[in-house]
Amino acid sequence: MIKKNKKKSLKSPGSIKLVIVSLIVLSLGLVGIYSYKKGYADGEVSALEQQKKSNLKQKKLIAKISSIAAPKNDLVERLQRVLSKEQTKTQIDTKREFTKETRTFDTNILGRPPKGPERVVRKKAIYSNFKKAKLAIIMDDVSFEHDVKSIKALGIPITMSFLPPSPAHPNSAILASREPLYMVHLPLEAMTFSAEEPITLHVSDSNEVISRRVKEVKSLFPRAYYVNNHTGSRFTSDKRAVKALIVALNKEGIGFLDSRTTAQTKVPEVMVSLGKPYIARDLFLDHEANVSYIEGQILKAIKKAKKHGSAIAIGHPRKETLQALKNSKKALRSVQLVLVNKVI
pLDDT band at 273 (very low <50, low <70, confident <90, very high): very high
Residues 31 and 139 in one domain: no
* Within-domain flag for 161: yes
Residue 229: how many CA atoms within 13 Å on its side-chain side?
29
Q: Is residue 62 part of a domain?
A: no
Identify which has the larger pLDDT, 41 or 336: 336
Supply the angle between the helices 291-308 and 319-327 in degrees, to the nearest 10. 60
Which pLDDT score, from 0 to 100, does residue 28 have? 55
pLDDT of residue 115 exceeding 90, the answer is no
- Other CB atoms within a 10 A radius of the CB of residue 132 amount to 16
Are 188 and 229 in contact by the 8 Å Cβ rule? The answer is yes
- In sequence order, the β-bridge partners of residue 315 are 139
Residues 125 and 223 in one domain: yes
Residue 172: inside a domain: yes
Task: Give the closest residue to 297 by CA, choosing from 286, 312, 306.
Answer: 286
What percent of the chain is modeled with pLDDT above 90?
60
Q: How far apart are CA 215 and CA 162, in angstroms?
A: 16
Q: Look at residue 329 in the predicted model and tell me its pLDDT.
A: 98
| Mean pLDDT, range 13-30, rounded to an integer | 59
Per-residue pLDDT tens over the stretch 278-305: 999 999 999 999 999 999 999 999 999 9
Please answer whether residues 232 and 259 qualify as being in contact, where contact means their C-beta atoms are separated by less than 8 angstroms. Answer: yes
Q: Answer with the one of 11, 32, 50 that is the final residue of a domain.
A: 50
Is position 132 within any domain? Answer: yes
Q: Are residues 39 and 163 in the same domain?
A: no
3-state secondary structure of 188: strand
Residue 337 has pLDDT above 80, yes or no: yes
Residues 194, 311, single domain; the answer is: yes
Residue 271 · residue 277 · CB < 8 Å:
yes
C-alpha distances (whole Å) from 189 to each of 154, 158, 161, 237 are: 32, 26, 18, 10
105 in the same domain as 31? no
pLDDT of res. 242: 98
User: Same domain, yes or no, for 112 and 18?
Assistant: no
Same domain, 150 and 245: yes
Query: What 3-state DSSP class applies to 115?
Result: coil
N residues, the chain: 344
Q: What is the pLDDT of residue 92?
A: 39
Cβ proximity of 331 and 299 under 8 Å: yes
How far apart are alpha carbons 160 and 34 in whole angstroms? 62
Residue 78 lies in a domain: no
The tally of domains found in the chain comes to 2
| 211 and 269 inside one domain | yes
Average pLDDT over residues 41-66: 53
The top-scoring range by mean pLDDT among 40-49, 119-128, 310-319 is: 310-319
Q: Give Rg (Cα) of the chain.
A: 33
The last residue of one of the domains, among 33, 50, 67, is 50
Together in a domain, 8 and 142: no
Q: Are residues 173 and 286 in the same domain?
A: yes
Task: Report d(CA 285, CA 308) in Å as an integer.
Answer: 18
- Residue 122, in any domain of the structure: yes
Asked whether residue 231 is assigned to any structural domain, the reply reads yes
CA pair distance 170, 220, nearest whole angstrom = 11
In the structure, what pLDDT confidence band is assigned to residue 224 with cuts at 50, 70 and 90?
A: very high
> What rounded mean pLDDT belongs to the chain?
80
- Indicate whether 15 pLDDT > 50: yes
Domain that holds residue 32: 2-50
Contact 130, 160 (CB under 8 A): no
Instruction: Give me the CATH number covering residue 292.
Output: 3.20.20.370
Q: Is the pLDDT of residue 265 over 70?
A: yes
Select from 174, 177, 244, 167 the least CA-distant residue to 199. 167
pLDDT value for 198: 87
The pLDDT value recorded for residue 178 is: 97
Helices (H) and strands (E) in the chain, counts: 11, 8
Q: Single out the residue of 179, 197, 180, 175 nearest to residue 188, CA to CA.
A: 197
**Residue 133 · residue 310 · CB < 8 Å:** yes
Q: Is 208 found in the same domain as 119?
A: yes
Is 85 part of a structural domain of the chain? no
Residue 148: CB atoms within 10 A of its CB come to 21
270 and 161 fall within a common domain: yes
- Between 124-128, 188-192, 238-242, the lowest mean confidence (pLDDT) is in 124-128
